[in-house]
Amino acid sequence: MTPSIDELAAFCKKKGFVFKTAEIFGGLQGFYDYGPMGVELKNNVKKAFWNDFVTKNEFVVGIDGAIITNPQVWVASEHAEKFSDIMAKCSSCGFNVRVDTLIEDVTGKNVEGESLKEIGKIVKKEKIVCPKCKGILEEPNEFKLMFETNIGPEKNEKSTGYLRPETAQLIFAAFKNVYQTSRVKLPFGIAQVGKAFRNEISPRNFLFRLREFEQFEIEFFTNPEKLNDCPMYDGKAKVNIADKNSFKTVTVDSLLKKKVFASKWHAYWVTAFFNWFVKYGVKEKNLRLQPHSKDQLAHYANACVDIEYKFPFGWKELHGDADRGQFDLGQHQKVSKESLEVFDESVSKKVLPFVAAEPSQGIERALLVLLFDAYFDDKKRGNVVLKLNPLISPLKVAVLPLVKKDGLAEYAKEIFQNLQKRFNAFYDAGGSIGRRYARQDELGTPYCITVDYDSMKDKTVTVRDRDSTKQIRINVDELNTKIWEMIYLGKKFE
Ligand code: GAP
**430-459: pLDDT as tens digits:** 999 999 999 999 999 999 999 999 999 999
Residue 418's pLDDT is 97
CATH number of the CATH domain containing 106: 3.30.40.230
Tell me the sheet residues that pair with 61: 190
76, part of any domain: no
- CA separation for the pair 83, 328 (Å, rounded): 15
405, part of any domain: yes
Helix (H, G, I), strand (E, B) or coil at 15: coil
Tell me the residue type at 138.
Answer: E
Distance of CA 329 from the midpoint of ligand 1 (Å) = 21
The answer to whether 316 and 349 have CB atoms below 8 angstroms apart is: no
Q: 209 in ligand 1 pocket by Cβ < 6 Å? A: yes
Residue 52's pLDDT is 98
Tens digit of each residue's pLDDT (9 = 90 or more) over 130-178: 999 999 999 999 999 999 999 999 998 889 999 999 999 999 999 999 9
**End-to-end CA distance of the chain, in Å?**
30
380, part of any domain: no
Residues 157 and 264 grouped into a single domain: yes
Report residue 190's pLDDT band, with 50, 70 and 90 as the boundaries: very high
320, part of any domain: yes
Q: Tell me the H-state helices in 310-362.
A: 327-336
Give how far Cα 168 sits from Cα of 78, 85, 196, 255, 359, Å.
Answer: 13, 19, 10, 26, 10
Q: What percent of the chain has pLDDT over 70?
A: 100
Residue 42's pLDDT is 98
Residues 171 and 139 grouped into a single domain: no
Among 312, 343, 374, where does a domain finish?
Answer: 374
138, part of any domain: yes
The answer to whether 280 and 389 have CB atoms below 8 angstroms apart is: yes
- CA separation for the pair 402, 473 (Å, rounded): 15
Residues 104 and 131 grouped into a single domain: yes
Residues 256 and 274 grouped into a single domain: yes
Report the residue among 202, 215, 300, 364 best suited for mutation to probe ligand 1: largest number of ligand atoms under 8 A from its CB.
215
State the total domains in the chain: 3
Residues 158 and 137 grouped into a single domain: no
Instruction: Return phi, psi of residue 297, to 5°.
Output: -65, 135
Residues 193 and 130 grouped into a single domain: no
Task: Using the atom order of ligand 1, give the atom closest to the CA of residue 203.
Answer: 23
Mean pLDDT across the stretch 182-195? 97
Residue 2's pLDDT is 87
State which H helix or E strand residue 391 sits in. none
Mean pLDDT across the stretch 417-426? 97
- CA separation for the pair 419, 415 (Å, rounded): 6
Q: Tell me the H-state helices in 318-407.
A: 327-336, 363-374
Residues 278 and 229 grouped into a single domain: yes
Residues 319 and 288 grouped into a single domain: yes
Residue 275's pLDDT is 98
CA-nearest of 202, 209, 28 to 132 is 202
Helix (H, G, I), strand (E, B) or coil at 477: helix
Q: 361 in ligand 1 pocket by Cβ < 6 Å? A: yes
Report residue 9's pLDDT band, with 50, 70 and 90 as the boundaries: very high
Among 329, 344, 374, where does a domain finish?
Answer: 374
99, part of any domain: yes
Q: Whose CA is nearest to atom 1 of ligand 1?
A: 168
Cα angle 232-51-321, degrees, rounded to a multiple of 5: 55
The answer to whether 167 and 198 have CB atoms below 8 angstroms apart is: no
Residues 342 and 257 grouped into a single domain: yes
Residues 174 and 124 grouped into a single domain: no
Mean pLDDT across the stretch 299-304? 91
Q: 198 in ligand 1 pocket by Cβ < 6 Å? A: yes
Tens digit of each residue's pLDDT (9 = 90 or more) over 328-357: 999 999 999 999 999 999 899 999 999 999
Put simply, whether the predicted model's pTM sits higher than 0.85 gets the answer yes
Among 144, 176, 195, where does a domain finish?
Answer: 144
Tell me the sheet residues that pair with 464: 448, 471
Looking at every residue in the chain, the average pLDDT score rounds to 96
CATH number of the CATH domain containing 432: 3.40.50.800
Residues 30 and 125 grouped into a single domain: no
385, part of any domain: no
Mean pLDDT across the stretch 7-23? 98
Q: 214 in ligand 1 pocket by Cβ < 6 Å? A: no
Residues 264 and 349 grouped into a single domain: yes
Q: Tell me the H-state helices in 96-198.
A: 99-107, 116-125, 168-173, 175-181
CATH number of the CATH domain containing 173: 3.30.930.10
Tens digit of each residue's pLDDT (9 = 90 or more) over 209-250: 999 999 999 999 999 999 999 999 999 999 999 999 999 999
Q: 112 in ligand 1 pocket by Cβ < 6 Å? A: no
Give the 3-state secondary structure of 23-71: HHHCCCCCCEEECHHHHHHHHHHHHHHHHHHHHCCCCEEECCCCCECCC
Q: Whose CA is nearest to atom 4 of ligand 1?
A: 166
Q: 252 in ligand 1 pocket by Cβ < 6 Å? A: no
- CA separation for the pair 348, 356 (Å, rounded): 20
CA-nearest of 370, 443, 381 to 2 is 370
Report the residue among 287, 317, 323, 369 best suited for mutation to probe ligand 1: largest number of ligand atoms under 8 A from its CB.
317
Distance of CA 163 from the midpoint of ligand 1 (Å) = 15
136, part of any domain: yes
Domain that holds residue 424: 395-488
